[in-house]
Amino acid sequence: MPFGSEIALTPGLSPAERLYVRILGAPILGLRVRARTILPLLDQIPVPKRIADAGCGRGMITLACARRFPSSEVIGVDLDEGQNRINHQIAEKSGIKNICYLTMDAMKLPEIGRFDLIISTDMLEHLEDDLGGVRTFRKALEPGGHLLIHVPHLTRNILGWRRSNWMDIEGHVRPGYTKDGLTRLLKEGGVCVKTCVYNYNSIETLANDMSKLITGAKERNKGFYAMVFPLLLFFSYIGSFYRSQKDGSGLVALAVKEA
């Protein structure tokens, strides 16, 4: 099943749109690039009893976790009540029973208990107090629980050409992090970093830049984007076979709250 194909069940889509998503999966290139690095890291942790997807958005990472860990309780947390309703409908229609979506601030996560795994995808760059955010996640973790973080790198890198990462994305208060900076932030927040790796290599970054050029990160030019998305997806997939140890336009870190 292609990643994100469940969103074919989104209310209001035309039959052609539903078929497109069922065949190709979610037509959101950046999310596809991120998921290819985030989800394999789940192999490095014990089966969690409770999972929180903090700032879950359209809930596709949440759904992937619920399918991967059918015995786990999976909770998607986001401030967008309307999107959460849609996410809930999609989960119900997909027959996924171990998932729910809550409309709340992810910084209040400790109020709903502790978790064995918290996933935060492209959230820290939205927080003025990112250190406080990490400490909140730590508070919400069980001892031995894991925190899986994705953030943009400080710069976008294409074949040695570096430029500042986008600051025109709604809600960003910083362009991103360096690898050392993210590792230091997590350590200051009280979690032990097990691994921190680059993603969005040059080819993936170039494909993502082309995607943003078309859509403006706001789902513009849907017809044209639908035509070029399969090519961009293939291009980025080929690029994913090479992982640089020295640079990338994104970072993924897996950390643990020591018992």
- Domain CATH for 77: 3.40.50.150
Q: Is 158 inside a domain boundary? A: no
Write the Ramachandran bin of 176: left for phi over 0, alpha for psi from -120 to 50, otherwise beta: left
Mean pLDDT of 209-237: 91
Does the pLDDT of residue 243 top 80, yes or no?
no
State the residue range of the domain holding 55. 5-152+163-256
Does the pLDDT of residue 105 top 80, yes or no?
yes
Quick one: pLDDT at residue 175?
92
Mean pLDDT of 10-29: 95
Q: What tokens appear for 19 in the block?
A: 């078929």
Mean pLDDT of 50-75: 97
The residues, any chain, with a CB within 8 Å of residue 217's CB and separated by 6 or more, are: 169
Q: Is 157 inside a domain boundary? A: no
Does the pLDDT of residue 60 top 80, yes or no?
yes
Does the pLDDT of residue 88 top 80, yes or no?
yes
**Model confidence band, residue 1 (pLDDT cutoffs 50, 70, 90):** confident
Q: What tokens appear for 76 in the block?
A: 């998607």
**Model confidence band, residue 6 (pLDDT cutoffs 50, 70, 90):** very high
Q: Is 69 inside a domain boundary? A: yes
Q: Find the angle CA(28)-CA(34)-CA(40) to the nearest 5 degrees.
A: 130
**Model confidence band, residue 107 (pLDDT cutoffs 50, 70, 90):** very high
Burial of 158 (0-12, 13-18, 19+ CB in 10 A): middle
Mean pLDDT of 53-73: 96
Quick one: pLDDT at residue 47?
96
Mean pLDDT of 41-62: 96
Number of domains in the chain: 1
- pTM equals 0.94
Q: What secondary structure letter does DSSP report for 37? A: H
For residues 256 and 239, give the distance between their C-alpha atoms in angstroms, rounded to a whole number: 29
